[in-house]
Structures are given as structure tokens and as C-alpha cells.
Amino acid sequence: MKLTALLLALFCLALSSVAQADRQARWVFFRDKGSTLAPPDLQPEAVARRIRQGLPFDLHDRCVNAAYLDSLRALGLRIRYVSRWLNAASAEGPVRAWQLAQQLKCVQATVPLGRISRTETLVDVGQSRFQFEQLCLEELHRQGWTGQGVRIAVLDDGFWSADTHPAFADLRKSGRLLTHYDFVNREANVFNEGTHGLRVFSVMAANWAGRFRGTAPLARYDLFHTEDGRIESRIEEDYWAAAAQWADSVGASLIQSSLVYNTFDDPTTNYRRQDLDGKTATITRAAQRAASRGLLVVNSAGNEARAPWHYILPPADGDSVLAVGSVDGLGQPSRFSSVGPTYDGRIKPDVAAPGEAVPVVSASGDLGIGTGTSFAAPLVAGLAAGLLQAAPHARPMEVIEAIRRSGNRAANPDTLQGWGVPCATRALAELRKLTPVPPASWPETVQLVPNPAGLYWYVRLPPDDSSHHWRFDWYDSTGRRCWSEERQHLQPGQLVGWERSRLGFQPGTYYLHISSTRQSFWLRGLVLE
């Protein structure tokens, strides 16, 4: 009987293996978003970030066409994650279903995701002083720029015990630990595994009185588990892209990631040197899209300098990604820190930070040390959070440029440490040159009245602006520009009006962008009926 049971078990295992071999996980890239465009799923904080930076909504914010997703499901494919940024979805299903999917008119291409490490039910969803001194962070914090109010999404392998560790007690008590999700295991709990993520997170967020303070101790945090430590597969890029899109939707301003990818369990899916061009690797494309939505992406450069690969790894090759290398205590490039340039000749990494013997919170509940660009990156991410607190209107490339200019090699950047080790206070001064800080509040004379709208909507122009040429752009709540015009020969303080029936607005929220040759404003108005 035991032999029979054993043979039966082996037979079932063989059938299971065959069934798994007959299934594939792939990305599906669609040709377009169809003629019926669904509005993006953005929370108010995300909309506010875009308005603050003057970034209009565009086609990449529109949801993937639901009918396209249904056509995949009709073939027996199960949707994993959907990316409006890439106009794509990841899905799993039998080989025959994929053969049929590639014949759909809406499908542009499919790309293998690699191995999934587990069976799943798919659904649609103190000690830091030395580093502070090297980065001038003590003075930045003394001025009050501790990242307070800035929302940071951390993407890593999980955050073991961060929900109970005393180093994060203040974070939890003050309600600054916001959303969290495990994209690998498809559950909310991100605190039951992942010591790498815990240590990286602590470099920014820890506030352990008398023992250890992070570089952005008063920021707000979203924690996303995207790295599967049991495998090396391109499916991890899928998790990363999904988490980055979530970060955009909830209104994060900064993504910190110490994850990089180039080789996988299936060698045929490895990236090549020529793919390091800032636009080929899927994770790089997702990071670039995040930056275009107004999120600053700070990523480690990798630890490949002494390995055959040698160079930085995706997504650090993105031109809108702040790639961080490592230096030792003397400011010399760490022997392991990945180098540039990118395949198309751009200097990378962008900057470098201490990456050897960095104080971190350990899983044992005490202090430990971390070595690698994984720990240099959150040092710089915390610095960047302080800059965003001081200049919340700044766009990602402006912050990156300011940090570069503050580096100790800014006059002579190289492919070992980029523009060098940044200085936080100098970076803030450079950022203010690039993006002068606006008034704390808009002039009271610049208002959209009445609000909610009546038969007419009016705006009185600033009395101190002598510009004669003004532009007015109206957007609805989905980001669609629904009215534009330019007016000449306007006078300071002049009242400008629109007949509401002429605008043709339906009930809802609308945003008016007003710009002259000297300044611009965003105003929000309501139409109730």
C-alpha cells in the first residue's frame, strides 16, 4: 500500500510538473488604449502633487482598456497586474491561450516574465553621525528639512518586524506608516519577511532616541514587497512596476529602491550590455514613467564592479533615475560599486554616498551595519526628501540636477562616482536657483469666483503682473484638457471671465492653469449642476 501511495504521489507530481510547464507568465503590451478612455485612478494627494509641479495629465494616466483585459480573460488567461504607464498587463495561462492572445488586434507584443516561485491564487488585484557629516545632513535637519510631510514609497524584499521594532515606534505612533502591500505573495502583510528591506528602510525612517536617526525621520512611508528572494526572474520587474504605479496613485513624491536586475534563472531572458540604454529594460521604463508622473526615483547603482558584468544595473540606467554608487570612509569609490557609463554613453552613477559599514537596524532588534550601494541609496533618498520638503513644487529632474551640482566632483564628473558625494545644504541652494520657492500662499486676488460656479466664472489677474499675454487651460478631473485660449493686451488686476454654458462643463471638479510670461497659477473650481 505504501508503494502504491508513493507511486501515486509521484504520478501526481509529474502531472503537476507537466501542467506547470504548459503554463506561462508573460507581459502583454497593447497597441493603444482604445477609443473609450477610462479616467485614471488617482487619489487627491496624487492629483495635488501633479498640480503642484505643473504637470498636466496625459494618455499614460489613462487606465488600460477594460475590453482588452476582458479579451485576455476570455482566452483563459489570468491577469496579474495592470500597468497604465506601460499600457500593458502581466498575465498567466496555458501556452495555447498565449498563442491565441498574440493574434488579437489589440496586442502589440508579449514578453516572457520567467519563473514564478510559488503556487498562488491570482486576483486583480546616534550611530549615523559619520554619514550625516559626509552628506551635510546635520545642517539640513537643523534648518528643519527632515522630510516632514514628504511621502516615500520603499520597494524591497519585505520589512521584517518594522511593525513592532522600537526604532520605528514614533513612525507608527504618529500615523506616518501608511499603505503597505506584498506584491510577491499578494497580501497586505510586509512585516513577516525581508531583512534587506528592513535595513534599507531604517537608513531613512529610524528615529531611535539616543541610538540611531535616519536621513528622513519625519517623512511618511508606503512599504511594498516586490523582491522574491527565492528566484531571479523577470517577474520581479512586474512586481516593481506594479508597486511604482501604486505609489503614484496614492500620491507618493519619492520612490526609494535598492533593487537592480540583469541576470535571471533563465539565461535567455538576461539583459545584455546594449540593453543598458535607459529605455529597454522593463523596470527602467517603469522608473522613467514614474519620473514623468512627478515622482523622484532614487535607486542603487549595484555592486558589480568586481563581477563580470561590471556596470550599473537597471533601473539605474534611466536618465530620470537618480542612481547612487558607494564610497568608503575616505570618499574613495568602493571596490564593489558598479560603474558607468550607460551603453549610450551617459555618465552613471549620478552621485555616490557612504556605502560601507552604514549603521542599520537589524532583525535581531539591535543595531547592525550594512555594506553596499543598497545602503548608500537611502542615505541620498533621505537627503532628497528634505529638498522636496523645502521645495515641494520641484520636479524630479530639478532635484537630480541640484544634487548633482552639490557633489564634490561636480566640476569633473566621472563614471566611478558621477558628480561625487552630494552636500545637502549646497543642494538646497542649487535647487532654489533652479526653482525659486513660490509664496507660501497664492495672492488673495488670484481666485476663481464664484466657487462653485454660477453662470460665469471669473479670475482677477495679479495686480503686480504687467504681462499683456496670458494663457488659460482648463482640465477636467481625469486630466483631459477641455478648453484652451490665449488673450492679449490684458492689464494688471483685470477681471477675466467665461460664460459657463460656453465652456460646456458638466458637474464635477475642474482645474484652471493660468500662465503669463512671468508666472503661473493652478486654481480648482467646482460645477455642482
Domains of the chain: which residue ranges? 22-112, 129-434, 448-527
| Side chain identity, residue 461 | L
Distance of CA 350 to the CA centre of its chain: 17
Q: Which of 417-426, 430-439, 518-527 has the lowest mean pLDDT?
A: 430-439
Q: What is the pLDDT of residue 473?
A: 86
Distances (CA, A) of 450 to 285, 462, 475, 480, 508: 43, 17, 18, 23, 15
- Cβ(270)–Cβ(167) below 8 Å: no
pLDDT mean over 291-301: 95
Mean pLDDT of the chain: 86
- Is domain 129-434 in CATH 3.30.70.360, yes or no? no
26 or 522, which is more confident?
26
Q: What confidence score (pLDDT) does residue 413 get?
A: 97
pLDDT for the residue 440: 39
3-state secondary structure of 506: coil
Question: Rounded to the nearest 5 degrees, what angle is found at the Cα of 240, between the Cα atoms of 236 and 244?
Answer: 170
CB 114 within 8 A of CB 235: yes
Strands annotated E in 184-242: 207-208, 212-213, 220-225
Binned at pLDDT 50, 70 and 90, residue 137 comes out as very high
The residue that leads in pLDDT, 480 or 21, is 480
Fold of 448-527: Immunoglobulin-like (2.60.40)
User: 162 in the Ramachandran plot: left (φ > 0), alpha (ψ -120 to 50) or beta?
Assistant: alpha
Closest CA relative to residue 133, chosen from 141, 121, 125, 145:
141
pLDDT 10s digits, 305-347: 999 999 999 999 999 999 999 999 889 999 999 999 999 999 9
Q: What percentage of the chain exceeds 90 in pLDDT? A: 56
Q: pLDDT tens digits for 94-136?
A: 888 899 999 999 999 999 888 776 544 333 324 567 788 899 9
| CB-CB neighbours of 308 under 10 Å | 6
Give the pLDDT confidence score for residue 441 in this predicted structure.
41
pLDDT at position 327: 96
Please tell me the predicted confidence (pLDDT) of residue 39: 59
